[in-house]
Structure formats: structure tokens, C-alpha cells
Amino acid sequence: MSHPRLPAPEEALADAKKRLSLPRIVVICGSTRFMTEMTEADVRETTAGRIVVKPGCDMKSPHALWSDPVEAEALKARLDELHRAKIRLSDEVLVVGDYVGDSTRAEIAYARSLDKPVRFTHPEVDPGNAVERPGRP
């Protein structure tokens, strides 16, 4: 007797989003130095009818929650994991800014490993682009 195949979690999520008639979900990635540009991208994506998720914390700006270096390191690890969850939830990724650092490069690689489409506000910084220009310091 054959049992029906259970869908993979990704398939179940895609099916649930379809049955709920959810709009496409876009996750914004990029250096937090581009928070202003991320907010503008959020407005543009939202007015285009997409659900937008993006980084919620800019740890480069002073805040009591990450003033202690040891606690800040632990928080950064938790926020990185949270952002990977946002990527798993999303239908596509939008990379904002004209610079891609190590964290954003890892997010792009993660999204692509999940077969998520990745768009760029500045396509020339795509690490998969053969004509990638050197990053800013």
C-alpha cells in the first residue's frame, strides 16, 4: 500500500500562500547603511502591491539594546537568523544599494540556494554578475 507523499515545508508554504491569495512577498536585503534607500524601496514595492519585509534594526546606529559588545554579538547572530527566515518566507529578494558586503553576499547566496529570484537596485553589484565592480570600503 502506497502512502501519499507529504509536501515539503516549502511546498506547503507556497500552497498556503496561494490558497490565501497573498500578494508576492519581497524581502529587502542590503547594508544597513542604506536604511533610507530601503525605506524608499519599501514604499515602491508596497505601492506595487507587494508585501515587504526588511531589516528592522540598524545596529550601526547607537541603541541601548546593543550597547554592550558581547550582547551585541549575540543579537547580531539572532538577527541574521531572523533575516534568513524572512528570506525563506519571501517569494523574492530585492538587494538595495550600490555596495554588497559579506553579510549581504551571504544573504544573496542563501536566497539563490533556495531558488528565490534576486533583484538589485544596482545590478552592477550582483556577485553573480561577471562585471561586478569592487565594493566600497
Decide which of 131 and 78 is more confident. 78
Q: Which of 94, 59, 51 is nearest to 80 (CA)?
A: 59
Read off φ and ψ for residue 36, nearest 5 degrees: -65, -45
pLDDT at 132: 43
pLDDT at 130: 57
pLDDT at 1: 63
Cα gap 54→30, rounded to integer Å: 9
Query: pLDDT (tens digit, 9 = 90+) per residue, 65-74?
Result: 999 999 999 9
H or E, element range at 12: helix 9-19
Query: pLDDT (tens digit, 9 = 90+) per residue, 7-27?
Result: 888 889 988 999 999 999 999
State the virtual CA torsion across 110, 115, 53, 33 in degrees, nearest 10. 40
Query: pLDDT (tens digit, 9 = 90+) per residue, 82-137?
Result: 999 999 999 999 999 999 999 999 999 999 999 999 999 999 999 988 544 455 44
Query: pLDDT (tens digit, 9 = 90+) per residue, 37-70?
Result: 999 999 999 999 999 999 999 998 999 999 999 9
CB 12 within 8 A of CB 82: no
CB 104 within 8 A of CB 30: yes
CB 62 within 8 A of CB 87: no
What string of DSSP letters covers 76-102? HHHHHHHHHHHHHH-SEEEE-SS---H
pLDDT at 8: 87
